[in-house]
Amino acid sequence: MSIIEPFISDLDESQQEIVRLAREFAQKEIAPYAADWDREKRYPEAVMRQLAELGFFGMRVPEAFGGLGLDTLTYLLVLEELATADAATSITLSVHNSLPVSMLTAHGSDAQKQRWLPAMAKGEVLAAFSLSEAGAGSDAAAVRALAVRDGDQWVLSGEKAWVTNGDRANLLVMLLRTDSPESRLGHRGMTMFLVPSDTPGVVSGKPEDKMGLRSSGTTTVALHDVRLSGEHVLGKEGEGFRYALQALDLGRMGVAAQAIGIARASLEHAVRYGAERQQFGKPIKDFQAIRFKLADMVSRISASRALLSETARAVENGMRVTERASMAKLFATESAMWVTNQAVQVYGGYGYMRDYPVERLFRDAKVTEIYEGTSEVQRIVIARGLYPK
Ligand SMILES: Cc1cc2nc3c(=O)[nH]c(=O)nc-3n(C[C@H](O)[C@H](O)[C@H](O)COP(=O)(O)OP(=O)(O)OC[C@H]3O[C@@H](n4cnc5c(N)ncnc54)[C@H](O)[C@@H]3O)c2cc1C
């Protein structure tokens, strides 16, 4: 086994099997096409259907609702395998499983679980998580989109920004303000809603033209007096902000896994290229400057994975992992940015060309330091944990 890959021999047979299946599928059906999907900004519809058939849309859906019910570590290792082939594919499934699936499982009523989870496990329903707005990113409490009661209905209005899967999701799990301008309740003035995307008045915008993850659709979602019954409130009124923060622990771990996959792919390319590329009459891998770069790259990737695995173990032991999840995301994503930058350097001028894979990996890595909380926000969360109240 290569020292670049995760060590999985201590996992049980079924865990190993699923990680191997993900690796095999990702390397055969995804990796060879990822550059084309990126160039053409094309969502890989057929491959997503195959991933659904393999059960990957239901990785975190409990078995009782038709999902795989994977433990945290196995789930993250699958996301790493997918991201090693294509970061955009990985984030589609990471958002769907880490956020909507987790929130429905934790806070949904029996009827809501029955309605959504089996279809989400089969991939018949793709879900998105929608918190951010043009004026509310890091400051999530600044959300302005509203839900106002009208008899036994709710009327939703406003505009959400940067919704991953926003162009094709069937279900939007959305954080909306439910307090009134006269009595603002801060974090407690927000409620999570289950918004079917075919409800009249829900309009998703054109996909953003992004630096990376170009085959994953990121859109605005406008709400024009959308009417929903009370059955669409997830959990309790006023608890939405808390639910979002809870789910973001796993969301951030998913982004860390994605970052590790991106970094691993760029290292694999750099190692191969180092052996092929000749300068001064020998392969560039024989220069100590290149060897040391590669050694630092693999070390940072392994350290990221070790931190993430420890956090996954803590989750399985029922621990609260907010700061650890932030540490894993911070370290893995900044490492991915550093590692992909080194990979471009190993490739020299070719690394700057779209024809070579490390250029895409460098672009894909950047967003991992931004979404589901920027690196600055992760540092705020971690430092807060050092001074508990
Ligand atoms: C491709 C993509 C997909 C996304 N998908 C989703 C999605 O599916 N759902 C969703 O809800 N959102 C999504 N987002 C939004 C994303 O989570 C936000 O972009 C992110 O949280 C940062 O918010 P912002 O862009 O408003 O930046 P800002 O909050 O405006 O931050 C700008 C800069 O200021 C820094 N900063 C802000 N506040 C502080 C502070 N208190 N201390 C120190 N520094 C600070 C930030 O770290 C950053 O460097 C996505 C974004 C992108 C780019």
Q: Which of 185, 218, 241 is the last residue of a domain?
A: 241
Indicate the top mutation candidate among 98, 159, 162, 211 to test ligand 1's pocket, ranked by most ligand atoms within 8 A of CB.
162
As to burial, measured by CB atoms within 10 angstroms (0-12 exposed, 13-18 middle, 19+ buried), residue 5 is: middle
Looking at the domain assignment, is residue 84 inside a domain?
A: yes
Atom of ligand 1 nearest to the CA of 216: 1
pLDDT in tens, 177-230: 999 878 888 889 999 999 999 999 999 999 999 999 999 999 999 999 999 999
Do 220 and 108 share a domain, yes or no? no
Do 237 and 347 share a domain, yes or no? no
- Mean pLDDT, range 22-33, rounded to an integer: 98
Do 149 and 173 share a domain, yes or no? yes
Looking at the domain assignment, is residue 96 inside a domain?
A: yes
Do 250 and 371 share a domain, yes or no? yes
CB distance 220 to ligand 1 below 6 Å: no
Do 88 and 214 share a domain, yes or no? no
Atom of ligand 1 nearest to the CA of 380: 42
Looking at the domain assignment, is residue 4 inside a domain?
A: no
**Residues near 354 by beta carbon (within 8 Å), at least 6 away in sequence:** 39, 360
Q: CA dist 298 to 1, 283, 340, Å?
A: 14, 19, 11
CB distance 164 to ligand 1 below 6 Å: yes
| C-alpha 131, offset from chain centre | 14
CB distance 254 to ligand 1 below 6 Å: no
Looking at the domain assignment, is residue 212 inside a domain?
A: yes
Looking at the domain assignment, is residue 2 inside a domain?
A: no
Measured by CA distance, the residue closest to atom 43 of ligand 1 is 376
Q: How many domains does the chain have?
A: 3
As to burial, measured by CB atoms within 10 angstroms (0-12 exposed, 13-18 middle, 19+ buried), residue 196 is: middle
pLDDT in the model for residue 1: 74
pLDDT in the model for residue 60: 98
CA distance 171 to 362: 31
Give the domain range for residue 379: 244-386
pLDDT in tens, 344-370: 999 999 999 999 999 999 999 999 999
Phi-psi region of 274 (alpha: psi -120 to 50; beta: other; left: phi over 0): alpha
pLDDT in the model for residue 388: 87
CB distance 23 to ligand 1 below 6 Å: no
- The amino acid occupying position 336 is A
Do 210 and 262 share a domain, yes or no? no
CATH code for position 169:
2.40.110.10
Active site residues: 372
CA distance 257 to 76: 6
pLDDT in the model for residue 387: 96
| C-alpha 284, offset from chain centre | 35
Q: Which of 125, 155, 172 is the last residue of a domain?
A: 125
- Mean pLDDT, range 155-163, rounded to an integer: 98
Measured by CA distance, the residue closest to atom 30 of ligand 1 is 137
Looking at the domain assignment, is residue 67 inside a domain?
A: yes
Centre of ligand 1 to C-alpha 374, Å, is 6
Do 316 and 371 share a domain, yes or no? yes
CATH code for position 96:
1.10.540.10
Centre of ligand 1 to C-alpha 230, Å, is 30
Confidence of residue 33 (pLDDT cuts 50, 70, 90): very high
pLDDT in the model for residue 185: 86
Looking at the domain assignment, is residue 147 inside a domain?
A: yes
Do 204 and 321 share a domain, yes or no? no
pLDDT in the model for residue 160: 98
pLDDT in tens, 377-386: 999 999 999 9
Atom of ligand 1 nearest to the CA of 374: 47
Confidence of residue 389 (pLDDT cuts 50, 70, 90): confident
Centre of ligand 1 to C-alpha 343, Å, is 26
Tokens read off for 199: 């409800």
Centre of ligand 1 to C-alpha 118, Å, is 32
CB distance 131 to ligand 1 below 6 Å: yes
Do 92 and 139 share a domain, yes or no? no
CB distance 218 to ligand 1 below 6 Å: yes
CATH code for position 254:
1.20.140.10
Centre of ligand 1 to C-alpha 210, Å, is 14
Q: Residue 20: pLDDT above 90?
A: yes
DSSP string, 93-143: HHHHIIIIIHHHHHH--HHHHHHHHHHHHHTSS-EEEE--BTTBSS-GGG-
Q: Residue 300: pLDDT above 90?
A: yes
Indicate the top mutation candidate among 93, 138, 245, 368 to test ligand 1's pocket, ranked by most ligand atoms within 8 A of CB.
138
Centre of ligand 1 to C-alpha 169, Å, is 21
pLDDT in tens, 243-296: 999 999 999 999 999 999 999 999 999 999 999 999 999 999 999 999 999 999
pLDDT in the model for residue 233: 98
Looking at the domain assignment, is residue 97 inside a domain?
A: yes
CA distance 171 to 155: 17
pLDDT in tens, 55-114: 999 999 999 999 999 999 999 999 999 999 999 999 999 999 999 999 999 999 999 999
pLDDT in the model for residue 71: 98
Q: Residue 372: pLDDT above 80?
A: yes
Do 256 and 356 share a domain, yes or no? yes
CB distance 219 to ligand 1 below 6 Å: no
Do 191 and 278 share a domain, yes or no? no
Do 249 and 227 share a domain, yes or no? no
Q: Which of 191, 208, 241 is the last residue of a domain?
A: 241
Centre of ligand 1 to C-alpha 11, Å, is 35
Task: Give the count of beta carbons closer than 10 Å to the beta carbon of residue 22.
Answer: 24
